Amino acid sequence: MREKLAQLEKEGKKLKKQQEKERLRGLLEEKKDNIFKLKEYRKVIIVGDSIIKHLPPLEGVEVYAFPGATIGRLQHLINTMRIPLHQFNYVIFHVGTNNIGKGFSVSHMCSDMVNLISQCRKISPRIHIIISSILPRPVDNEITDERIKFNAKVEKVLSVDLGVKFIKSYRPFCFKGEIKRYLFARLDGGLHLNNEGSNRLGHFFHRFISTLNY
């Protein structure tokens, strides 16, 4: 009798273990299916100047880099259909560095950004727009005030008034107000990111994009 009870208990534990495995397998398959559906829906394009040219590959993300591009230049490229916004439901704009380099005022840059957003919505009304902040660069550190003012204006005014998302992509490149120079290329005086800097920016974008779930 005891042997039969022991055998039944053993078989019962085995059955429960098997059922638990099946349950976990089902949850895993469901999670994989949800991830697949999310990737299918979450189509992201990153558009900007040469700062994003050497971003590491990001799954489900396309990068369109235009060296020397200003905010106004991107608007023209969108208007002439050089950037296929209609194929995506999220766009991240990383632009403005060249505007500052050319001496554009903050008000001029903000006006161009408003026009860019307006043109973007005209071409693709349902697309979600994200504005990535201008990065600090060793080569133009002396005009850092203009960069800070522009980033602040986009974050506190334009993003609220125009309903766009502002992301602080400059954070990985600063520490206590000082630029992390080792993330920028030496040969051009810090005009562009080096490999480590591009990877750092790519990692920032990856973490942000992973939060997009609608």
- Read off the CATH number of the domain in which 82 is found: 3.40.50.1110
pLDDT at 117 over 90: yes
Q: Which domain holds residue 197?
A: 48-209
Q: Has residue 34 got a pLDDT over 70?
A: no
Query: In terms of pTM, does the model score above 0.75?
Result: yes
Q: Is the pLDDT of residue 89 over 80?
A: yes
Q: Which of 148, 136, 52 is nearest to 92 (CA)?
A: 52
Average pLDDT over residues 21-44: 61
| Contact in structure between 86 and 123 (CB atoms under 8 Å) | yes
Q: Is the pLDDT of residue 40 over 60?
A: no
Cβ contact 200:180 at 8 Å: no
Q: Which residues of 58-90 are buried (b: 16+ CB within 10 A; e: fewer)?
A: beebebbbbeebbbbbbbebbeeeebebeebbb
The pLDDT confidence band at residue 36, using thresholds 50, 70 and 90, is very low
Residue 18 pLDDT class (50, 70, 90 cuts): confident
Residue 29 maps to a domain: no
Contact assessment for residue 94 and residue 122, using Cβ atoms and an 8 Å cutoff: no
pLDDT digits (tens, 9 = 90+) for 144-193: 678 888 999 999 999 999 999 999 999 999 988 889 999 999 887 778 99
The per-residue pLDDT of the chain, averaged, comes to 86
Average pLDDT over residues 49-71: 95
- Give mean pLDDT, residues 63-82: 95
The DSSP letter of residue 190 is S
> What is the count of structural domains for the chain?
1
Is residue 147 a part of any domain in this protein?
A: yes
